[in-house]
Structure 1
Amino acid sequence: MSSRLNAELIEGFLSSTEADELLMELTNTLEWRQESITLYGKSHPIPRLQCFVASKGVGYRYSNLTMEGSGFPNILESIKDKIESTANHTFNAVLCNLYRDGHDSMGWHSDNEPELGEQPVIASLSLGSSRTFRFRDLKSRKETIDFELSHGSLLIMNAGVQEYWEHSVPKRLRVKQPRINLTFRLIDPTR
C-alpha cells in the first residue's frame, strides 16, 4: 500500500495575463541550455532546455551536472516571494525547464538529492502548453496519479512526496507549443 500523495494543485495561481507576460519574459531572458547527462557510461542530451537560478553561493548537483547560482533576477524574485507565501515554505533556488514542444519530456525520477534535505518541499509553476504530470508509487511502481498542469497553475509537492513517489512528464506529440516549468526548491549549501 502506498503513502498518500501529499501534493496540492492550485489552478489559476497566476492570471492568464500574468502567466502570458512571465512566459514571454522568461523565454526571452533566461540563458537556456541543453545539458547532457551520463547514463551507464554514455552521454545523452537532456530532452528539454534548462536554466538554474539560485541565491549566490547555492549550487545544485544531479546526474553528474553541477550548477551554481548567481542571484535571482527581479522577475523571478517577485514570483518566488508569491510562491513562498502560498506554499508557506522558503526557497533559494529554481530549476527552470523549457519543453519546446511535446517531443520534450522528463523521465521517471524523484528529487531526492542530499542537498534538498530529508523531506523536501518543491513548488512547480507551469507556463505555456498544458502537460500531463505523472506520479508513480515508488514501492509498487503500479499506482499512478496524473495531474494536468495548465498555464499559470502551481503544484506544491509537500514533505514525503519525493520519498514515496517518483514523477515524470511524458512526451505528447500533439503538443506543438512550448511550456516552461519553474521548480522552486530549498538547497542546503553545506551539504
Structure 2
Amino acid sequence: MDTSFQASLLDMCEAAGPGPLGPTVKRTHLAHGAWIDVRPAWVAGADALFERLAQVVPWRAERRHMYDRVVDVPRLLKFYEEDEPLPDPLLEDARRALDAHYAGELGEPFRTAGLCYYRDGRDSVAWHGDRIGRGATEDTMVAIVSVGSPRSLLLRPHGGGGPTLRHDLGHGDLVVMGGSCQRTWEHAIPKTGRPTGPRISIQFRPRGVR
C-alpha cells in the first residue's frame, strides 16, 4: 500500500503527542444548537503517526448495498470497540486529553475509535450524520483527528439548502462536532480530481454513537 505524502516541516520540530487544548480551540456556533471546535496541528508527530497506522492497522475493504446493486465503499475502515486496545499509544494519549477537556460538557468519556483510510482523491464519504444509536435523538460529540495529507471536510445543514462550510484537515488537525450537529447538520469528504496524498481520520465517539 502506497503511503507516500508530503510531510509537514512544522511537524518535525516538536515532540510527538497531543498539544494543549483550552484557549487554543476555536469554537464556531452553527444553527439549530450545533457547534464545531477546530484546533489546527493539535497532534505533533502526526506524519509519523500516519505512517505507523497505515502499516499496523488491519484495514478492511467493505461492500454495501446502494439502491439496486452492491458497491465498494470508497475508503478502508477499521472500528475499535469499547475496551479494544488502540493501535498506537499516541491515540490513547489523544483520547485521554479529549476526555479531560470535554468532560464537563460531554459528561462521559469517548469510548470507541473509528479509523478511515482515504488512499487518494478517489476515496470519499457522502453526506451523512452519525445518527446510528444515540446520535439520532441526543446531543453528543464526535472528535476527529486527521493525519496525512489534508482533505476537505464539508458541513451543511441537514438536507442542504444552507451555507456549506469547509475545513481542510490533515497533519494532526482536530475538529470536534458537538451539540445537535449529528442530527441537524451533515458532513462529507468529497472526491477530488486534484493530486492528493493519503489521509487517515480517527473518530472518537462516546458509547452508543456511530
Q: Which runs of 5+ in 1 are unaligned?
A: 57-69
1:148 paired with 2:177, answer no
- Map 1:43-82 onto structure 2 (within 5 A): 43-56=70-83, 70-75=84-89, 76-82=91-97
> C-alpha distance in 2, partners of 1:159/1:2?
10
Partner of 1:187: 207
Q: Which amino acid aligns with 1:10?
A: R
> C-alpha distance in 1, partners of 2:69/2:190?
22
State the Cα deviation string for residues 59-83 of structure 1 (Å, max 9, x = none).
Answer: xxxxxxxxxxx43345232322123
State the SS of the aligned residue for 2:43.
coil
Deviation at 1:120, TM superposition (A): 2.1
Partner of 1:126: 146
Residues 175 and 79 (structure 1), Cα distance of their counterparts in 2 relative to 1, 3 Å cut:
farther
1:93 paired with 2:107, answer no
Match of 1:3 among 32, 40, 60: 32
Q: Is the 8 A contact 1:54 1:72 kept in 2?
A: no
State the SS of the aligned residue for 1:3.
helix
Q: Is the 8 A contact 1:87 1:156 kept in 2?
A: no
Q: Is the 8 A contact 1:2 1:139 kept in 2?
A: no
State the Cα deviation string for residues 53-112 of structure 1 (Å, max 9, x = none).
Answer: 1224xxxxxxxxxxxxx4334523232212323333411111100000111111000101
> C-alpha distance in 1, partners of 2:207/2:126?
22
> C-alpha distance in 2, partners of 1:177/1:74?
22
State the SS of the aligned residue for 1:158.
strand
- Map 1:11-50 onto structure 2 (within 5 A): 11-15=40-44, 18-50=45-77
Deviation at 1:151, TM superposition (A): 1.1
State the Cα deviation string for residues 13-55 of structure 1 (Å, max 9, x = none).
Answer: 112xx11221111111101111111122421111010111122
Residues 35 and 140 (structure 1), Cα distance of their counterparts in 2 relative to 1, 3 Å cut:
closer
- Could you tell me the percent identity over the aligned residues? 29
- Map 1:103-122 onto structure 2 (within 5 A): 103-116=122-135, 118-122=138-142
Q: Is the 8 A contact 1:123 1:185 kept in 2?
A: yes
| Coordinate RMSD, CA, aligned | 2.1
Residues 140 and 33 (structure 1), Cα distance of their counterparts in 2 relative to 1, 3 Å cut:
closer
Residues 169 and 124 (structure 1), Cα distance of their counterparts in 2 relative to 1, 3 Å cut:
same
Give the number of aligned pairs: 174
For normalisation by structure 1, the TM-score amounts to: 0.82
Q: Which amino acid aligns with 1:22?
A: L
Q: Is the 8 A contact 1:133 1:169 kept in 2?
A: yes
